[in-house]
Structures are given as structure tokens and as C-alpha cells.
Chain A
């Protein structure tokens, strides 16, 4: 997707681009509601999934995954696209003159060179997943052990009298995970860049 947006020019590209980035600017609750409409038991895709495969997405773990997936997709696409655009087109040309076809060049040149950006994008997306609230609660509700994300659990704990300690514990976990994610991305990015000789 990122490669298509970075390298290809086709009619309707702005529309595709806007659709991909929509969850980034929409209130998460609206995204969750849209998912509910589309993937709900009576939604156009949800009904098909339910009838053909017996798969139900709403209020399930899979549904929660879908919700965070849709929410973090634009973050991921943006990161990958930026790093793809930053790769040297000259190297791509060089590979071309050396007899490498389109797919060959994507695998051997473009992706390895964009790998630091892709990795960092992945880690940021992972961190965003952990913090997802609005879309998940709308689409998959907040079922402990199934669809409850960390912020949902913290929020739930705060609603119960005497739940402050639990909320504080969970917040610590959340902070630790976020910090680890950021440090990891920093360290990996550095390693990869040294490997690429930058």
C-alpha cells in the first residue's frame, strides 16, 4: 500500500490516499461506529462473514484486533511511505541498468533501504495499538480478557470505588511498554542505519 502511494501515479490516487488516512483524523468513536456498520452482524461484510464462515467480529478479540488494525494502518503506511520516498531513486536506476526487474528491485534494493523507517513505523504502530480506546470500545466493547485494551482497563478501574491502585499499576505497565517501544525503535533504527552505512 505504502509502495503504491509512494511510487505509483494513477487516477483516484488522492481518494485512496484520503481513505487510508481517514482513521487518523476521524474521532476514533466514529471509526468504531463505521466498523460496526460495515462489519456488524447485519453489516454488508459482517453478514457475509457470519453466514459463510460463522465468523463474528463485533465484541470479540478478533474484532478488537481489527479495530486497532484500522486505527494504526495510516500510521504504519505513513512511516513506510516516507522511508520509501526517502530511498535514493538513483540506486533504483542503477539496479535497473544491472538487469533487475520491478519486483526484484523492490525486494533487493527498496525494502532493505527503507527497513529502518518500516521498523520504526511498526514500533510506533504497536505503541498506538496499546493505547487504542475509542474505536475498540465502540466496535468490540470492553470485555475483560477479550477486548479490553490497557486504557479501557484503566478507565474501568477508575469507575470502581477504590480502583485507583489498580489504575496506577496499569498506568505504570502502559508507561513501561511505551518507553520500551520508543527505546527499542531508537536502538534498532541506529543499528540498521549503521548497517546501511549512514
Chain B
């Protein structure tokens, strides 16, 4: 199952020409600077904007195809759209807002009680939208979109208007939602922390063009993409909790062919977690060091060395069995270690610098 998007449109200031295909279900992040065309893709998918040339197919169902003249109006697309400003109907209670799409959608697998429980909005049902906080309002908006029984959920910077605290309040609901409902989600954001927590795939955009597209763990470990030029550049591994060592206060994670020890986690064995390893925290070595505080020595092979002249550093991609890491080092380090694509290398990672995000 997949989501296929082709979009060409000429705006007064920018030309959009994007085509990508991602697997469904799962969260696909549309990521890029302002004006890169993220919201245009969302609006075209929702049917609110009709581009010059466009083809959007979700799981085999054609929503719009300008070549063959098919263009379903938004009200017949069965999509959920969550806007940045929640856009709740001010003259209706929370419950009526939630039921708005549900009443019009007919039968579907998503039940009212389930959504209310999942988003924790049971106590708000009788209230009016203007009495809710920003975070509550956005949760209700997400619930309303989901209850319309969508085939695809579109989220256009749903957290952008919230402060850090409200964002942190909503995030767990989003991750729960993602695992509870097997629904394709197209998620627009310009905050990478949201991508790291939620996304399975990522579509990188810049001024109306596609930069890269693929599984997040692949794209995050690429040294030649704009993502690697960021301060928070780093690889993302999907790991499983396999061992707790209570006396030593450590937890062992396995994922992508690597074994990682991190400070003791409060997770049951067997659960999946997301782990982010910042590029600037990965040390490279030719042979294993001795008498050192380090727990994690991960053997791999250099795949690519990409320059980052602005920071006078280079980014080294290291492939493991089923994943990749990325490390930011000085050009001098490359020379001293004699690193080149294809050479074996050891990645040294401090336990305390591994960020466990949790899926």
C-alpha cells in the first residue's frame, strides 16, 4: 500500500515540481523551510487547491488526476485535515464539533468513545471551543478529523501555534494515535523534533522541489542532505529493549545491527523505542580503546564522507548491518585515521549522549 503524489504548479513567485511515493500506513513528514511547498501538497491532497498538473493516489484510490480529468471535491475525498489554527466551529459544543464529520461519513471503523479516550477529551465534551486551551483545542480538532473516518489524515503544522509546554502535552497523544490506528498520516512541520518523534518516512522539500524522500532512518543518516547541515543532525535507530541491568543501572537496546547500552530505562522488555544519536557525539576510532568510560563501540564501514565547509568539519556515514550512523568530525581526523569509503571503522558513542525518544 502506498501514497503517490505528483504535483506541478506555477505560483507567481515559485514553481512547484514534486513527485514522491511513500509506504502506508505510517507517518510521512513533509519537511522543509517556509515556502518550500509543504502546505501546497496538503491543500492539493485535500482538494482545496487544484494545481496545474496533479495526481494523487492513496492505496489505489485516485483522489485527483488532472491528466484524466478526475478531481474529487474535498467533501467527497474522505480525508481528515488538521489545520494549524484548530478551526473548531465556535457555535457548537466540543461534542457536536466531534460528531460533525462522523454524522456525514456514515459507517467507519473509528468509534466516538475510542477517540475521546485516546485523546483524553472526555471532560471537555460539553464545553465551547473558546473556553479551551490551545492544546485542548488542537486535540479536539484532531479527534474531529479522525471521526470523519478518513482514508488519510493530513496535518498542516498542527503544533506550530503551541508553546513548548503545550506541544509536549500533545505529543504523547499523537504517538498513541499513530500506533492505535493504522492510518496513513501526512504531517507538515518545520520542527525536526516532531519529525524525530513521529515520522516513519520523510519527504524533504526546498523551494518547490523534492530534495530526498525515504524511510526516516535512512534519510537522517545521509551526510549529503540539508538535514546533516543542521546543529541537531543525527542518525535515528529503531531499537528494542532487550535487557535491564539493574545493578549497573543500564539498559541494553538492539536495533539495526547495533547493540547500545543506555542509562536504565523505565520500559518493559520487548518494547520498541526510537533512539537518536547526534552526529557531533559520535567519535570514530581505528581500534577499540582501553580503560575508557565508554560502553558503546559499534563496528561499521564508512559509506560516504561529505564536507560541511561552513563548520570546517566533515560528515561520515557509517553503515551497520541494517542501519546507518552519522558522525561529525574534523577533516584532520579523516586524514589521521586514513578513512575512506569502504574502510572499516569503529563508532564510539557515550551512553549518556544517546537520546531515547520512544515510539
B230 interface residue (CB < 8 Å to A): no
Closest Cβ of chain B: how far from A135's Cβ, in Å?
37
Known: A98-B144, A98-B145. A112 touches B91 (CB 8 A): yes
| A20 beta carbon closer than 8 Å to chain B | no
Question: How many residues of chain B have a CB within 8 Å of chain A?
Answer: 28
Once the chains bind, are B100 and A98 in contact (CB under 8 Å)? yes
Contact A101 B75 (CB under 8 A): yes
In the complex where A90-B85, A197-B128 touch, is A99 in contact with B78 (Cβ < 8 A)? Answer: yes
Contact between A95 and B91 (Cβ–Cβ < 8 Å)? Answer: no
Judging by beta carbons under 8 Å apart, are B87 and A98 in contact? no
B344 at interface, CB cutoff 8 A: no
Closest CB of chain B to A9's CB: distance in Å?
16
Does B202 make an interface contact (CB < 8 A)? no
Q: Which residues of B lie under 8 Å from residue A112 when comparing CB positions? A: 91
**81-112 of chain B: CB within 8 A of chain A:** 81, 83, 85, 87, 89-91, 100-101, 104-105
Complex Cα gap A196–B145 (Å): 21
Given contacts A97-B81, A98-B148, A99-B104, contact A91 B74 (CB under 8 A): no
Among B89, B105, B131, contact of A99 (Cβ-Cβ < 8 Å): B105
Give the shortest distance, in Å, between A156 (CB) and chain B (any CB).
Answer: 47
B46 CB-CB contact with A under 8 Å: yes
Once bound together, how far apart are the Cα atoms of A196 and B85, in whole Å? Answer: 17
Q: Is A195 an interface residue (CB 8 A)?
A: yes
Check A97–B91 contact: CB distance below 8 A.
Answer: no
Interchain nearest-CB distance for B62 vs A (Å)? 18
Q: Which residues of B contact A98 (CB under 8 A)?
A: 75, 100-101, 104, 144-145, 148
CB atoms of B75 and A113 under 8 A apart: no
CA distance A195 to B104 in the complex (A): 25
- Asked whether A96 and B87 contact (CB < 8 A) given A101-B75, A197-B129, the answer is no
Inter-chain contact B91/A195, CB cutoff 8 Å = yes
CB of B223 within 8 A of chain A? no
* Contact across chains for B104 and A100 when beta carbons are under 8 A apart: yes
- Quick one: given A97-B46, A97-B79, are A91 and B100 in contact (CB under 8 Å)? no
Residues of A contacting B104 with CB < 8 Å? Answer: 98-100, 104
Whether B80 sits at the interface, judged by CB under 8 Å, is: yes
Contact assessment for B75 and A93 in the assembled complex, using a CB-CB cutoff below 8 Å = no
**Residue B48 at the chain A interface, CB threshold 8 Å:** yes
Give the Cβ gap from B43 to chain A, nearest Cβ, in Å: 9
Closest to A192 in B: B91
A97 touches B74 (CB 8 A): yes
> Which residues of chain B come closer than 8 Å to A7, judged between CB atoms?
none
Q: Which residues of B are found within 8 Å of A197, using beta-carbon distances?
A: 90-91, 128-131
- Assembled-state Cα–Cα distance A109/B101 (Å): 13
Least CB separation from B46: chain A residue: A97
Residues of B within 8 A of A196 (CB): 90-91
- A91, A97, A104: the one contacting B89 at CB < 8 Å is A91
Residues of B within 8 A of A100 (CB): 75, 100, 104
Decide: B100 and A95 in contact? CB cutoff 8 A: yes
Measured CB to CB, the closest approach of chain A to B120, in angstroms, equals 22
The interface bits of chain A over 82-108 (1 if a CB of B lies within 8 angstroms of the residue's CB, else 0) are 000000101101111111110010001
| Contact of A95 with B80 in the complex, beta carbons under 8 Å | no
Q: How far, in Å, is B99 (CB) from chain A's closest CB?
A: 10
Establish whether residues A99 and B148, one from each chain, have CB atoms under 8 Å apart when the complex forms: yes
In the bound complex, CA of A91 to CA of B89 (Å): 7
Q: Is the CB of A94 within 8 A of B87?
A: yes
Chain B residues whose C-beta falls within 8 Å of the C-beta of A104 in the assembled complex: 104
27 CB contacts below 8 A, A to B, read A90-B85, A90-B87, A91-B87, A91-B89, A91-B90, A93-B48, A94-B89, A95-B100, A96-B48, A97-B74, A97-B77, A97-B80, A98-B75, A98-B100, A99-B75, A99-B101, A99-B104, A99-B148, A100-B100, A104-B104, A109-B89, A195-B91, A196-B90, A196-B91, A197-B91, A197-B129, A198-B90
When A and B form their complex, which 8 residue pairs have the shortest distance between CB atoms, in order from nearest? A197-B130, A98-B101, A99-B104, A94-B87, A97-B81, A197-B90, A96-B74, A112-B91
